[in-house]
Structure 1
Amino acid sequence: MTDAEVVQPPRTNRRGDATRKNMLDAALRALSTGDPGAVSANRIAKEIGATWGAVKYQFGDADGLWAAVLRRTAERRAHSFESTEPTTPLRARVAAIIDTLYDGLTATDSRAIENLRAALPRDPLELERLYPQTAAELKSWGQSWLATCQQAFSDVDVDPDRVREVAAFIPGAMRGITSERQLGSFADLDLARRGLTNAIVAYVSTRAHS
């Protein structure tokens, strides 16, 4: 094979990558307003000053756009739970998870994803049928979150089912506490977080009776 015949790797289209990133950031800003009408690929295209054809060129369709939005937020929170390593005391690990969610659930990305999820089909089968890429991305979120919890308790002699239970209820519990924060609750939310932290530590530290 001559030098002329050597296949060169494709060059990175930096301009295209920047355009894609700008579109995703603009989509997140639009979604984070909480306006249900913002969950419209056509409307987002208009708000970012692009044609629907340009958005389709980057993402394929609305499903591709929503999946890319989810992936973008996942990339930005990739290192959020680094303090949950087993080298950290157990209570500090759990407190770090609770505090990270407490702060993160009011961030722009979280508000955007909540608005997007509220507009998507509730039935998993319907979601997979209409938005297969988005459904796959949401499923990967669940798997990543479970892996985070498994890592956090990897040095604790705990029934794996308990870890799955904790992973399942923490997001809902934290959304409830975050909602109280946004509504201006009379409850002591610092106390609530400490109580939830202590309850989780006690639950994973106590062996279940057979």
Structure 2
Amino acid sequence: MTDAEPLRTKRRKRQAGEAREEGLAAARALLLEGGPASVTLANVGREIGMSHTNVIHHFGSAEGLQSALMGSMIRDLAGALDEAVLHLKTDSAAPSMLVDQVFDAFDEGGAGQLAAWLVLSRESDHLEPIRQAVLDLVAAVREKLAEDAAADDRMRSIVLLIAICAFGDAVIGPQLREMLGLDAEAGRRLVAQILPSLILPGR
């Protein structure tokens, strides 16, 4: 998509909050479809049928738009991790559920592309808000699957492994799976298979 393409959505009047939310939704879709370079004021305006001037009014600048998008996606990622914690406390199929929750957040939720963007642009400080969500997830994994207060290091390593695998699967997984002739679920299926042996070693 180029800045010369026509508006995709007919212009209409919106409340300020509605316009901002539509802008963020469009920016997220652009990020997932075309990467960080596609997240521009002009492209967002085109997607939601809003003039360049109005997009600037709601976000201030391209940097303001990108910062707002990062904040929105970070909140969603923290929410997904919190959701995983809640499920861990009630769901008997905890290992596979945990893998699905984290993989979904990094893939469908766009956290993989967001994390790559933040790291490559040296903006990793934006990830700080998910710190407590990650620590809560470690504690929930320990409580549900190990029940051993001394297992913190192992639980942290397990969460790290799942997150790194989910990140890699979201960023380059489709290309690697195509090269290897594997289906879309291959990565998460592999992690779910090895997770029980990591949680309860020797069993």
Superposed CA deviations along residues 87-130 of structure 1, whole A, max 9, x for unmatched, are 434xx2121011233444442x31xx54454444537xx427xx
CA contact (8 A) 1:105 1:175 kept: yes
2:102 aligned with 1:101? yes
User: How many residues are aligned here?
Assistant: 179
Give the equivalent residue in structure 1 for 2:161: 169
CA contact (8 A) 1:120 1:127 kept: yes
CA contact (8 A) 1:177 1:189 kept: no
CA contact (8 A) 2:107 2:166 kept: no
The secondary structure found in structure 1 opposite 2:15 is: helix
Unpaired runs of at least 5, structure 2: 1-13
Unpaired runs of at least 5, structure 1: 1-13, 129-134
TM-score (normalizing by structure 2):
0.65
The secondary structure found in structure 2 opposite 1:154 is: helix
Which structure 2 residues correspond to residues 63-78 of structure 1 after superposition, within 5 A?
63-76=63-76, 78=79
Cα pair distance change 1:175/1:122, threshold 3 Å: closer
Give the equivalent residue in structure 2 for 1:11: none
Q: Match for 2:200 among 197, 202, 205?
A: 205
Shift of residue 23 of structure 1? 0.9
| Residue identity (%) | 22
Give the counterpart letter for 1:148 in structure 2.
L
Cα pair distance change 1:122/1:95, threshold 3 Å: same
The secondary structure found in structure 2 opposite 1:33 is: helix
Which structure 2 residues correspond to residues 1-16 of structure 1 after superposition, within 5 A?
15-16=15-16
Give the equivalent residue in structure 2 for 1:186: 181
Tell me how far apart the structure 1 counterparts of residues 185 and 162 of structure 2 sit (CA, whole Å).
16
For the aligned residues, what is the CA RMSD? 3.5
Q: Match for 2:151 among 159, 163, 166?
A: 159
Q: Match for 1:127 among 115, 118, 123?
A: 123
| Structure exhibiting the larger radius of gyration computed from Cα positions | 1
Tell me how far apart the structure 2 counterparts of residues 167 and 115 of structure 1 sit (CA, whole Å).
19
Shift of residue 150 of structure 1? 2.2
Give the equivalent residue in structure 2 for 1:140: 129
The secondary structure found in structure 1 opposite 2:91 is: coil
Shift of residue 170 of structure 1? 1.1
Cα pair distance change 1:36/1:164, threshold 3 Å: same
Tell me how far apart the structure 2 counterparts of residues 32 and 191 of structure 1 sit (CA, whole Å).
21
User: Which of structures 1 and 2 has the larger relative contact order (alpha carbons within 8 angstroms, sep 6+)?
Assistant: 1
